[in-house]
Structure 1
Amino acid sequence: MRALLTLCGYLLAIYCLLCLVLYLLQRQLIYFPVPAQLPPAEPLILPRPNASLLISQRPLDSQQALFYFGGNAEDVSVSLPEFAAAFPRHAIYLMHYRGYGGSSGKPSEAALVGDALALFDQLYSKHQAITVIGRSLGSGVAVQLAARRPVAQLVLITPFDSLSAVARQQMPYVPISWLLKDRFESHYFAADIRCPALLLVADQDEIINSRRSEALYRAFNADTARLMRYPGSHNSYLPASQLAEWIQALH
Protein backbone atom coordinates (compact mmCIF):
# COMPACT_ATOMS: atom_id res chain seq x y z
CA MET A 1 0.00 0.00 0.00
CA ARG A 2 2.83 2.39 0.90
CA ALA A 3 4.51 1.69 -2.44
CA LEU A 4 1.24 2.43 -4.25
CA LEU A 5 0.82 5.73 -2.40
CA THR A 6 4.43 6.64 -3.21
CA LEU A 7 3.85 5.87 -6.88
CA CYS A 8 0.67 7.96 -6.90
CA GLY A 9 2.60 10.80 -5.28
CA TYR A 10 5.29 10.66 -7.97
CA LEU A 11 2.68 10.60 -10.74
CA LEU A 12 0.85 13.58 -9.22
CA ALA A 13 4.11 15.50 -8.94
CA ILE A 14 4.94 14.77 -12.58
CA TYR A 15 1.43 15.84 -13.65
CA CYS A 16 1.69 19.10 -11.69
CA LEU A 17 5.14 19.74 -13.16
CA LEU A 18 3.77 19.18 -16.66
CA CYS A 19 0.94 21.66 -16.00
CA LEU A 20 3.45 24.20 -14.69
CA VAL A 21 5.63 23.83 -17.79
CA LEU A 22 2.60 24.24 -20.05
CA TYR A 23 1.56 27.36 -18.14
CA LEU A 24 5.00 28.95 -18.35
CA LEU A 25 5.64 28.07 -21.98
CA GLN A 26 2.12 28.37 -23.38
CA ARG A 27 2.78 31.42 -25.57
CA GLN A 28 5.78 29.67 -27.12
CA LEU A 29 3.36 26.86 -27.99
CA ILE A 30 0.77 29.23 -29.50
CA TYR A 31 2.96 31.70 -31.39
CA PHE A 32 5.79 30.68 -33.72
CA PRO A 33 7.42 33.90 -34.98
CA VAL A 34 9.03 33.62 -38.41
CA PRO A 35 11.20 36.13 -40.31
CA ALA A 36 9.92 37.89 -43.40
CA GLN A 37 11.18 36.22 -46.58
CA LEU A 38 10.20 39.18 -48.74
CA PRO A 39 10.91 42.35 -46.75
CA PRO A 40 8.53 44.95 -48.22
CA ALA A 41 10.00 47.62 -50.47
CA GLU A 42 7.72 50.27 -48.97
CA PRO A 43 6.60 48.99 -45.54
CA LEU A 44 4.08 50.67 -43.30
CA ILE A 45 5.43 51.03 -39.76
CA LEU A 46 2.78 51.12 -37.05
CA PRO A 47 4.12 52.45 -33.72
CA ARG A 48 2.48 50.73 -30.75
CA PRO A 49 3.03 50.56 -26.99
CA ASN A 50 6.07 48.32 -26.39
CA ALA A 51 6.33 47.47 -30.07
CA SER A 52 6.83 48.69 -33.61
CA LEU A 53 4.86 46.74 -36.21
CA LEU A 54 5.84 46.04 -39.78
CA ILE A 55 2.93 45.97 -42.22
CA SER A 56 3.58 44.56 -45.69
CA GLN A 57 1.51 46.74 -47.98
CA ARG A 58 0.50 47.55 -51.51
CA PRO A 59 -0.78 51.13 -51.07
CA LEU A 60 -3.51 52.26 -53.42
CA ASP A 61 -5.73 55.32 -53.57
CA SER A 62 -8.98 53.38 -53.25
CA GLN A 63 -11.96 53.18 -50.93
CA GLN A 64 -11.43 49.41 -50.89
CA ALA A 65 -8.75 47.76 -48.77
CA LEU A 66 -7.89 44.27 -47.58
CA PHE A 67 -6.42 43.40 -44.19
CA TYR A 68 -4.90 39.92 -43.73
CA PHE A 69 -4.07 38.24 -40.42
CA GLY A 70 -2.15 35.00 -40.85
CA GLY A 71 -1.62 31.78 -38.94
CA ASN A 72 0.60 31.20 -35.94
CA ALA A 73 3.69 30.27 -37.98
CA GLU A 74 2.98 32.18 -41.19
CA ASP A 75 5.17 34.67 -43.00
CA VAL A 76 2.54 36.96 -44.50
CA SER A 77 5.10 38.77 -46.67
CA VAL A 78 5.10 35.96 -49.24
CA SER A 79 1.37 36.47 -49.84
CA LEU A 80 1.64 40.13 -50.84
CA PRO A 81 2.28 39.62 -54.60
CA GLU A 82 -0.60 37.15 -54.91
CA PHE A 83 -3.06 39.27 -52.94
CA ALA A 84 -2.06 42.31 -54.99
CA ALA A 85 -2.74 40.43 -58.23
CA ALA A 86 -6.04 38.92 -57.04
CA PHE A 87 -7.37 42.21 -55.63
CA PRO A 88 -6.20 44.87 -58.12
CA ARG A 89 -8.65 47.49 -56.83
CA HIS A 90 -7.81 47.04 -53.16
CA ALA A 91 -5.06 48.51 -51.06
CA ILE A 92 -3.40 45.53 -49.33
CA TYR A 93 -2.18 45.41 -45.72
CA LEU A 94 -0.67 42.25 -44.21
CA MET A 95 0.19 42.44 -40.53
CA HIS A 96 3.38 40.96 -39.14
CA TYR A 97 2.46 40.13 -35.56
CA ARG A 98 4.67 41.24 -32.69
CA GLY A 99 7.92 39.31 -32.86
CA TYR A 100 7.25 38.24 -36.47
CA GLY A 101 9.10 39.34 -39.62
CA GLY A 102 10.51 42.71 -38.59
CA SER A 103 7.97 43.60 -35.89
CA SER A 104 9.22 44.07 -32.34
CA GLY A 105 7.45 43.18 -29.12
CA LYS A 106 5.93 39.98 -27.75
CA PRO A 107 2.68 38.47 -29.05
CA SER A 108 -0.41 37.97 -26.92
CA GLU A 109 -4.14 38.03 -27.60
CA ALA A 110 -4.61 41.50 -26.12
CA ALA A 111 -1.61 42.87 -28.03
CA LEU A 112 -2.59 41.38 -31.40
CA VAL A 113 -6.20 42.54 -31.17
CA GLY A 114 -5.13 45.99 -30.02
CA ASP A 115 -2.71 46.23 -32.93
CA ALA A 116 -5.42 45.24 -35.40
CA LEU A 117 -7.77 47.91 -34.02
CA ALA A 118 -5.01 50.53 -34.22
CA LEU A 119 -4.28 49.63 -37.85
CA PHE A 120 -7.96 49.93 -38.73
CA ASP A 121 -8.29 53.27 -36.95
CA GLN A 122 -5.25 54.65 -38.78
CA LEU A 123 -6.43 53.61 -42.23
CA TYR A 124 -10.20 53.90 -42.10
CA SER A 125 -10.15 57.56 -43.19
CA LYS A 126 -8.44 56.42 -46.42
CA HIS A 127 -10.36 53.18 -47.03
CA GLN A 128 -13.95 52.95 -45.89
CA ALA A 129 -14.67 49.52 -47.39
CA ILE A 130 -12.24 47.21 -45.62
CA THR A 131 -12.35 43.47 -46.16
CA VAL A 132 -10.77 41.49 -43.33
CA ILE A 133 -9.34 38.00 -43.84
CA GLY A 134 -8.10 35.89 -40.93
CA ARG A 135 -6.54 32.46 -41.19
CA SER A 136 -6.38 29.99 -38.28
CA LEU A 137 -4.96 32.00 -35.35
CA GLY A 138 -5.63 35.14 -37.38
CA SER A 139 -9.33 34.30 -37.44
CA GLY A 140 -9.40 35.05 -33.71
CA VAL A 141 -7.91 38.49 -34.37
CA ALA A 142 -10.18 39.15 -37.36
CA VAL A 143 -13.38 38.27 -35.49
CA GLN A 144 -12.67 40.70 -32.68
CA LEU A 145 -11.76 43.44 -35.15
CA ALA A 146 -15.00 42.91 -37.10
CA ALA A 147 -17.03 42.95 -33.88
CA ARG A 148 -15.60 46.31 -32.81
CA ARG A 149 -15.16 48.22 -36.07
CA PRO A 150 -17.27 48.83 -39.25
CA VAL A 151 -15.66 46.14 -41.40
CA ALA A 152 -17.19 45.73 -44.87
CA GLN A 153 -16.88 41.95 -45.01
CA LEU A 154 -15.14 39.18 -43.11
CA VAL A 155 -13.53 35.96 -44.34
CA LEU A 156 -12.31 33.32 -41.88
CA ILE A 157 -10.13 30.44 -43.09
CA THR A 158 -9.99 27.31 -40.89
CA PRO A 159 -11.47 29.26 -37.95
CA PHE A 160 -12.31 28.08 -34.45
CA ASP A 161 -14.87 29.13 -31.88
CA SER A 162 -12.45 29.15 -28.96
CA LEU A 163 -8.74 28.44 -28.61
CA SER A 164 -9.43 26.94 -25.20
CA ALA A 165 -11.92 24.50 -26.76
CA VAL A 166 -9.33 23.50 -29.38
CA ALA A 167 -6.74 22.97 -26.64
CA ARG A 168 -9.14 20.91 -24.54
CA GLN A 169 -9.72 18.56 -27.46
CA GLN A 170 -5.99 18.13 -27.98
CA MET A 171 -5.14 17.83 -24.26
CA PRO A 172 -8.28 16.50 -22.55
CA TYR A 173 -6.52 15.61 -19.30
CA VAL A 174 -5.02 19.06 -18.71
CA PRO A 175 -6.99 21.79 -16.85
CA ILE A 176 -6.87 24.19 -19.79
CA SER A 177 -9.47 26.54 -18.32
CA TRP A 178 -7.16 27.24 -15.38
CA LEU A 179 -3.94 27.52 -17.38
CA LEU A 180 -4.69 29.34 -20.62
CA LYS A 181 -3.97 33.08 -20.83
CA ASP A 182 -4.90 33.75 -24.47
CA ARG A 183 -8.29 32.18 -25.15
CA PHE A 184 -9.48 33.82 -28.39
CA GLU A 185 -13.13 33.17 -27.54
CA SER A 186 -14.39 34.13 -31.00
CA HIS A 187 -17.90 32.77 -30.35
CA TYR A 188 -18.45 35.54 -27.78
CA PHE A 189 -17.87 38.22 -30.43
CA ALA A 190 -19.63 36.65 -33.42
CA ALA A 191 -23.10 37.90 -32.49
CA ASP A 192 -21.83 41.51 -32.57
CA ILE A 193 -20.71 41.24 -36.20
CA ARG A 194 -23.04 42.90 -38.69
CA CYS A 195 -21.09 42.59 -41.94
CA PRO A 196 -21.35 39.59 -44.32
CA ALA A 197 -19.06 36.79 -43.15
CA LEU A 198 -17.71 33.70 -44.91
CA LEU A 199 -16.25 30.77 -42.97
CA LEU A 200 -14.04 28.44 -45.02
CA VAL A 201 -13.55 25.00 -43.46
CA ALA A 202 -11.05 22.39 -44.68
CA ASP A 203 -12.60 18.94 -45.12
CA GLN A 204 -9.57 17.18 -43.62
CA ASP A 205 -8.39 19.70 -41.04
CA GLU A 206 -6.13 17.73 -38.71
CA ILE A 207 -5.54 20.63 -36.29
CA ILE A 208 -8.92 22.35 -35.86
CA ASN A 209 -11.81 19.92 -35.65
CA SER A 210 -14.65 20.94 -37.96
CA ARG A 211 -16.98 21.01 -34.94
CA ARG A 212 -15.06 24.03 -33.69
CA SER A 213 -15.66 25.89 -36.96
CA GLU A 214 -19.30 24.86 -37.00
CA ALA A 215 -19.77 26.08 -33.42
CA LEU A 216 -18.41 29.47 -34.44
CA TYR A 217 -20.74 29.55 -37.46
CA ARG A 218 -23.75 28.93 -35.21
CA ALA A 219 -22.69 31.84 -32.98
CA PHE A 220 -23.23 34.37 -35.79
CA ASN A 221 -26.59 36.05 -36.27
CA ALA A 222 -28.90 34.41 -38.78
CA ASP A 223 -28.26 35.46 -42.38
CA THR A 224 -24.94 37.10 -41.47
CA ALA A 225 -22.57 34.18 -42.12
CA ARG A 226 -22.08 31.46 -44.69
CA LEU A 227 -20.04 28.29 -44.22
CA MET A 228 -18.26 26.65 -47.14
CA ARG A 229 -16.09 23.55 -47.18
CA TYR A 230 -13.10 23.01 -49.42
CA PRO A 231 -10.96 19.90 -49.97
CA GLY A 232 -7.69 19.78 -48.11
CA SER A 233 -6.00 19.92 -44.71
CA HIS A 234 -5.42 22.76 -42.27
CA ASN A 235 -2.39 24.03 -44.17
CA SER A 236 -3.67 23.38 -47.68
CA TYR A 237 -2.90 26.15 -50.13
CA LEU A 238 -5.81 28.42 -51.02
CA PRO A 239 -5.13 30.68 -54.02
CA ALA A 240 -5.88 34.35 -53.44
CA SER A 241 -7.72 34.36 -56.75
CA GLN A 242 -10.14 31.77 -55.34
CA LEU A 243 -10.63 33.89 -52.23
CA ALA A 244 -11.40 36.86 -54.46
CA GLU A 245 -14.14 34.88 -56.20
CA TRP A 246 -15.71 33.77 -52.93
CA ILE A 247 -15.55 37.30 -51.52
CA GLN A 248 -17.23 38.66 -54.64
CA ALA A 249 -20.04 36.16 -54.06
CA LEU A 250 -20.72 37.70 -50.63
CA HIS A 251 -22.19 40.81 -52.24
Structure 2
Amino acid sequence: MQIIPQALRLMRLWVTAGLAVLFLAGCNDMDAWQRSMLYHPQPARLAGETLTLPVDGATLSISVRSRPGAPALLYFGGNAEDVSGTRPQLARLFPDHALYLMHYRSYGQSTGEPSEAALHADARVLYEHVRRDHAEIKVVGRSLGSGVAARLASEQAVARLALVTPYDSIENVAVDLYPWLPVRWLIRDRFDSAAVAGRISAPTTLIAAEHDTLIRPERTVQLATHFQPGVARSVVVPGAHHNDIGAHPAYERALEEALR
Protein backbone atom coordinates (compact mmCIF):
# COMPACT_ATOMS: atom_id res chain seq x y z
CA MET A 1 0.00 0.00 0.00
CA GLN A 2 2.98 2.33 0.45
CA ILE A 3 4.52 1.73 -2.97
CA ILE A 4 2.32 4.13 -4.95
CA PRO A 5 2.71 7.15 -2.59
CA GLN A 6 6.46 6.59 -2.49
CA ALA A 7 6.59 6.42 -6.29
CA LEU A 8 4.64 9.66 -6.54
CA ARG A 9 6.97 11.38 -4.11
CA LEU A 10 9.96 10.13 -6.07
CA MET A 11 8.41 11.35 -9.31
CA ARG A 12 7.76 14.80 -7.82
CA LEU A 13 11.34 14.91 -6.60
CA TRP A 14 12.69 14.12 -10.07
CA VAL A 15 10.40 16.69 -11.70
CA THR A 16 11.46 19.34 -9.18
CA ALA A 17 15.12 18.48 -9.70
CA GLY A 18 14.69 18.65 -13.47
CA LEU A 19 13.03 22.05 -13.29
CA ALA A 20 15.79 23.28 -10.99
CA VAL A 21 18.43 22.12 -13.47
CA LEU A 22 16.64 23.91 -16.32
CA PHE A 23 16.31 27.06 -14.22
CA LEU A 24 19.99 27.05 -13.29
CA ALA A 25 20.95 26.38 -16.92
CA GLY A 26 18.87 29.38 -17.97
CA CYS A 27 20.57 31.56 -15.36
CA ASN A 28 23.98 30.38 -16.49
CA ASP A 29 23.16 31.06 -20.13
CA MET A 30 21.92 34.55 -19.36
CA ASP A 31 24.99 35.37 -17.30
CA ALA A 32 27.34 34.03 -19.97
CA TRP A 33 25.55 35.34 -23.05
CA GLN A 34 23.64 38.43 -21.94
CA ARG A 35 25.83 40.87 -23.84
CA SER A 36 25.55 38.84 -27.04
CA MET A 37 21.78 38.95 -26.46
CA LEU A 38 21.84 42.73 -25.94
CA TYR A 39 24.27 43.78 -28.66
CA HIS A 40 23.87 42.64 -32.28
CA PRO A 41 26.67 44.32 -34.29
CA GLN A 42 25.79 45.22 -37.86
CA PRO A 43 28.10 46.08 -40.77
CA ALA A 44 27.84 49.51 -42.40
CA ARG A 45 25.94 48.84 -45.60
CA LEU A 46 25.79 52.34 -47.07
CA ALA A 47 28.87 54.22 -48.18
CA GLY A 48 29.29 57.86 -47.28
CA GLU A 49 31.28 60.36 -45.30
CA THR A 50 32.72 58.94 -42.08
CA LEU A 51 34.69 60.22 -39.13
CA THR A 52 37.22 58.03 -37.34
CA LEU A 53 37.34 58.83 -33.66
CA PRO A 54 39.90 57.30 -31.27
CA VAL A 55 38.55 56.35 -27.84
CA ASP A 56 39.90 54.40 -24.90
CA GLY A 57 40.65 50.89 -26.15
CA ALA A 58 38.97 51.24 -29.54
CA THR A 59 38.41 53.30 -32.67
CA LEU A 60 34.91 54.48 -33.53
CA SER A 61 33.43 54.96 -36.97
CA ILE A 62 30.90 57.79 -37.18
CA SER A 63 28.60 58.23 -40.17
CA VAL A 64 28.64 61.95 -40.90
CA ARG A 65 26.92 64.60 -42.98
CA SER A 66 29.06 67.72 -42.64
CA ARG A 67 27.59 71.18 -42.16
CA PRO A 68 30.31 73.35 -40.57
CA GLY A 69 28.92 75.67 -37.93
CA ALA A 70 25.35 74.42 -38.34
CA PRO A 71 23.27 72.88 -35.56
CA ALA A 72 24.52 69.34 -34.98
CA LEU A 73 22.42 66.22 -34.52
CA LEU A 74 23.93 63.24 -32.65
CA TYR A 75 22.23 59.89 -33.23
CA PHE A 76 22.52 56.70 -31.16
CA GLY A 77 20.79 53.71 -32.72
CA GLY A 78 19.20 50.46 -31.68
CA ASN A 79 21.02 47.30 -30.69
CA ALA A 80 20.74 45.75 -34.17
CA GLU A 81 20.77 48.95 -36.23
CA ASP A 82 23.13 49.94 -39.00
CA VAL A 83 23.10 53.68 -38.50
CA SER A 84 24.52 54.32 -41.97
CA GLY A 85 21.09 53.25 -43.20
CA THR A 86 19.41 55.84 -40.97
CA ARG A 87 21.51 58.75 -42.21
CA PRO A 88 19.50 59.32 -45.48
CA GLN A 89 16.25 59.76 -43.54
CA LEU A 90 17.81 62.19 -41.07
CA ALA A 91 19.50 64.08 -43.92
CA ARG A 92 16.11 64.51 -45.60
CA LEU A 93 14.30 65.56 -42.43
CA PHE A 94 17.04 67.93 -41.21
CA PRO A 95 18.76 69.37 -44.29
CA ASP A 96 20.32 72.26 -42.39
CA HIS A 97 21.88 70.11 -39.64
CA ALA A 98 25.25 68.43 -39.40
CA LEU A 99 24.75 64.73 -38.66
CA TYR A 100 26.85 62.41 -36.51
CA LEU A 101 25.63 58.82 -36.21
CA MET A 102 27.73 56.61 -33.95
CA HIS A 103 28.53 53.00 -34.84
CA TYR A 104 28.94 51.33 -31.45
CA ARG A 105 32.06 49.30 -30.73
CA SER A 106 32.18 46.29 -33.10
CA TYR A 107 29.42 47.83 -35.27
CA GLY A 108 30.27 49.06 -38.76
CA GLN A 109 34.00 49.75 -38.89
CA SER A 110 34.27 50.45 -35.16
CA THR A 111 36.60 48.24 -33.14
CA GLY A 112 36.40 47.03 -29.55
CA GLU A 113 33.60 45.37 -27.61
CA PRO A 114 30.35 47.09 -26.60
CA SER A 115 29.27 47.52 -23.00
CA GLU A 116 27.19 50.07 -21.13
CA ALA A 117 30.25 51.81 -19.70
CA ALA A 118 31.95 51.90 -23.10
CA LEU A 119 28.91 53.31 -24.92
CA HIS A 120 28.44 56.09 -22.38
CA ALA A 121 32.13 56.98 -22.48
CA ASP A 122 32.17 56.95 -26.29
CA ALA A 123 29.12 59.22 -26.43
CA ARG A 124 30.91 61.77 -24.27
CA VAL A 125 33.96 61.67 -26.54
CA LEU A 126 31.78 62.22 -29.61
CA TYR A 127 29.98 65.10 -27.89
CA GLU A 128 33.26 66.83 -27.02
CA HIS A 129 34.49 66.41 -30.58
CA VAL A 130 31.30 67.86 -32.08
CA ARG A 131 31.16 70.75 -29.60
CA ARG A 132 34.38 72.18 -31.06
CA ASP A 133 32.63 73.08 -34.31
CA HIS A 134 28.94 73.33 -33.37
CA ALA A 135 27.44 75.67 -30.79
CA GLU A 136 24.06 73.91 -30.84
CA ILE A 137 23.79 70.15 -30.33
CA LYS A 138 20.62 68.07 -30.46
CA VAL A 139 20.47 64.38 -29.56
CA VAL A 140 18.36 61.43 -30.73
CA GLY A 141 18.46 57.94 -29.24
CA ARG A 142 16.48 54.99 -30.50
CA SER A 143 15.70 51.85 -28.49
CA LEU A 144 19.00 50.79 -26.86
CA GLY A 145 20.43 54.17 -27.89
CA SER A 146 17.75 56.01 -25.93
CA GLY A 147 19.65 55.06 -22.78
CA VAL A 148 22.90 56.39 -24.24
CA ALA A 149 21.21 59.62 -25.33
CA ALA A 150 19.45 60.13 -22.00
CA ARG A 151 22.65 59.72 -20.00
CA LEU A 152 24.51 62.12 -22.30
CA ALA A 153 21.75 64.75 -22.05
CA SER A 154 21.81 64.44 -18.25
CA GLU A 155 25.52 65.28 -18.22
CA GLN A 156 26.01 67.74 -21.07
CA ALA A 157 24.25 70.80 -22.48
CA VAL A 158 21.99 69.82 -25.37
CA ALA A 159 19.38 71.95 -27.11
CA ARG A 160 16.80 69.21 -27.76
CA LEU A 161 16.42 65.52 -26.96
CA ALA A 162 14.30 62.90 -28.73
CA LEU A 163 14.03 59.37 -27.35
CA VAL A 164 12.50 56.82 -29.73
CA THR A 165 10.93 53.64 -28.29
CA PRO A 166 12.61 54.43 -24.95
CA TYR A 167 12.59 52.48 -21.69
CA ASP A 168 12.95 53.30 -18.03
CA SER A 169 15.74 50.70 -17.82
CA ILE A 170 17.01 47.75 -19.81
CA GLU A 171 16.80 45.83 -16.55
CA ASN A 172 13.02 46.28 -16.49
CA VAL A 173 12.77 45.41 -20.19
CA ALA A 174 14.64 42.17 -19.49
CA VAL A 175 12.35 41.38 -16.55
CA ASP A 176 9.36 41.76 -18.90
CA LEU A 177 10.95 39.42 -21.45
CA TYR A 178 12.32 36.81 -19.03
CA PRO A 179 10.03 36.82 -15.97
CA TRP A 180 11.11 33.32 -14.93
CA LEU A 181 14.78 34.30 -14.45
CA PRO A 182 16.36 36.33 -11.61
CA VAL A 183 17.26 39.08 -14.05
CA ARG A 184 17.91 41.73 -11.42
CA TRP A 185 20.66 39.57 -9.87
CA LEU A 186 22.31 38.69 -13.17
CA ILE A 187 22.14 41.69 -15.47
CA ARG A 188 25.31 43.73 -15.99
CA ASP A 189 24.30 46.50 -18.41
CA ARG A 190 21.25 48.16 -16.88
CA PHE A 191 20.96 51.42 -18.87
CA ASP A 192 18.88 53.03 -16.13
CA SER A 193 17.38 56.05 -17.92
CA ALA A 194 14.86 56.66 -15.16
CA ALA A 195 17.70 57.31 -12.72
CA VAL A 196 19.09 60.17 -14.84
CA ALA A 197 15.87 61.61 -16.30
CA GLY A 198 15.42 64.08 -13.46
CA ARG A 199 18.74 65.72 -14.34
CA ILE A 200 17.73 66.41 -17.96
CA SER A 201 16.73 70.01 -18.64
CA ALA A 202 16.58 70.00 -22.45
CA PRO A 203 13.09 69.90 -23.99
CA THR A 204 12.51 66.18 -24.49
CA THR A 205 10.12 64.16 -26.64
CA LEU A 206 9.44 60.47 -25.98
CA ILE A 207 8.25 58.74 -29.17
CA ALA A 208 6.66 55.33 -28.61
CA ALA A 209 5.24 52.71 -30.98
CA GLU A 210 1.62 51.78 -30.32
CA HIS A 211 2.15 48.04 -30.81
CA ASP A 212 5.67 47.68 -29.40
CA THR A 213 6.07 44.22 -27.87
CA LEU A 214 9.82 44.47 -27.24
CA ILE A 215 9.90 47.69 -25.22
CA ARG A 216 6.37 47.68 -23.89
CA PRO A 217 4.49 51.00 -23.71
CA GLU A 218 4.48 50.91 -19.91
CA ARG A 219 8.27 51.16 -19.94
CA THR A 220 8.00 54.51 -21.77
CA VAL A 221 5.17 55.65 -19.51
CA GLN A 222 7.28 54.87 -16.45
CA LEU A 223 10.25 56.78 -17.89
CA ALA A 224 8.09 59.85 -18.46
CA THR A 225 7.22 60.04 -14.76
CA HIS A 226 10.88 60.57 -13.80
CA PHE A 227 11.38 63.85 -15.69
CA GLN A 228 10.94 67.19 -14.00
CA PRO A 229 7.53 68.76 -14.71
CA GLY A 230 7.30 70.38 -18.13
CA VAL A 231 10.53 68.87 -19.51
CA ALA A 232 9.21 65.83 -21.40
CA ARG A 233 6.20 65.15 -23.57
CA SER A 234 5.09 61.85 -25.06
CA VAL A 235 3.95 60.93 -28.56
CA VAL A 236 2.58 57.53 -29.60
CA VAL A 237 2.89 56.58 -33.28
CA PRO A 238 -0.37 54.79 -34.15
CA GLY A 239 -0.09 51.41 -35.83
CA ALA A 240 3.68 51.24 -35.35
CA HIS A 241 5.69 48.31 -34.01
CA HIS A 242 9.15 48.42 -32.49
CA ASN A 243 11.07 47.72 -35.69
CA ASP A 244 8.97 49.62 -38.24
CA ILE A 245 8.32 52.89 -36.40
CA GLY A 246 10.77 54.76 -38.63
CA ALA A 247 8.67 53.98 -41.71
CA HIS A 248 5.59 55.80 -40.41
CA PRO A 249 4.93 59.40 -41.54
CA ALA A 250 3.66 60.18 -38.04
CA TYR A 251 7.08 59.26 -36.69
CA GLU A 252 8.82 61.65 -39.05
CA ARG A 253 6.43 64.46 -38.11
CA ALA A 254 7.00 63.79 -34.42
CA LEU A 255 10.78 63.77 -34.84
CA GLU A 256 10.78 66.99 -36.84
CA GLU A 257 8.61 68.70 -34.23
CA ALA A 258 10.79 67.38 -31.41
CA LEU A 259 13.98 68.83 -32.85
CA ARG A 260 12.85 72.02 -34.55
Structure 2 length-normalised TM: 0.91
Q: Secondary structure at the match of 1:9?
A: helix
Q: 1:29 aligns with which of 29, 37, 52?
A: 37
Contact 2:93–2:256 (CA<8 Å) still a contact in 1?
no
**1:125 to partner: Cα distance:** 2.0
**1:74 to partner: Cα distance:** 0.5
Contact 1:62–1:89 (CA<8 Å) still a contact in 2?
no
2:80 equivalent to 1:73: yes
The residue number in structure 2 matching 1:10 is 18
2:66 is matched by which residue type in structure 1?
P
Q: 1:62 aligns with which of 58, 69, 79?
A: 69
Give the superposed CA RMSD: 1.5
2:225 is matched by which residue type in structure 1?
R
2:166 equivalent to 1:159: yes
Q: Secondary structure at the match of 2:225?
A: helix
Output aligned runs, 1:196-207, within 5 Å.
Answer: 196-207=203-214
1:34 is matched by which residue type in structure 2?
Q
Contact 2:52–2:61 (CA<8 Å) still a contact in 1?
yes
Q: Distance in 1 between matches of 2:144 and 2:47?
A: 22
Contact 2:207–2:254 (CA<8 Å) still a contact in 1?
no
Q: Distance in 2 between matches of 1:237 and 1:178?
A: 32
Contact 1:67–1:92 (CA<8 Å) still a contact in 2?
yes
**1:25 to partner: Cα distance:** 0.2
The residue number in structure 2 matching 1:246 is 257
Q: Secondary structure at the match of 2:86?
A: helix
2:247 equivalent to 1:236: no
2:134 equivalent to 1:123: no
2:217 equivalent to 1:210: yes
The residue number in structure 2 matching 1:170 is 177
The residue number in structure 1 matching 2:6 is none
Question: Structure 2: any 5+ residue segments left out of the alignment?
Answer: 1-8
My pick for the range that moved more, 49-58 or 80-89, is 80-89
Go from structure 1 to structure 2 and tell me whether the alpha carbon gap of 1:44 and 1:158 turns closer, same or farther (over 3 Å shift). Answer: same
Q: Secondary structure at the match of 1:155?
A: strand
Structure 1 length-normalised TM: 0.94
Contact 2:138–2:259 (CA<8 Å) still a contact in 1?
no
Q: Distance in 2 between matches of 1:13 and 1:102?
A: 41
Question: Rg larger in 1 or in 2?
Answer: 2
Q: Distance in 2 between matches of 1:221 and 1:190?
A: 8
Contact 1:136–1:158 (CA<8 Å) still a contact in 2?
yes
**1:215 to partner: Cα distance:** 0.5
Contact 1:62–1:90 (CA<8 Å) still a contact in 2?
no
**1:248 to partner: Cα distance:** 4.8
Q: Distance in 2 between matches of 1:70 and 1:247?
A: 17
Question: Structure 1: any 5+ residue segments left out of the alignment?
Answer: none
The residue number in structure 1 matching 2:3 is none
Identical positions, percent: 42
| Total equivalences in the alignment | 248
Q: Secondary structure at the match of 1:44?
A: strand
2:110 equivalent to 1:103: yes
Q: Which string of whole-angstrom CA distances, capped at 9 and with x for unpartnered residues, describes residues 207-237 of structure 1?
A: 1111100000110000001101111111124
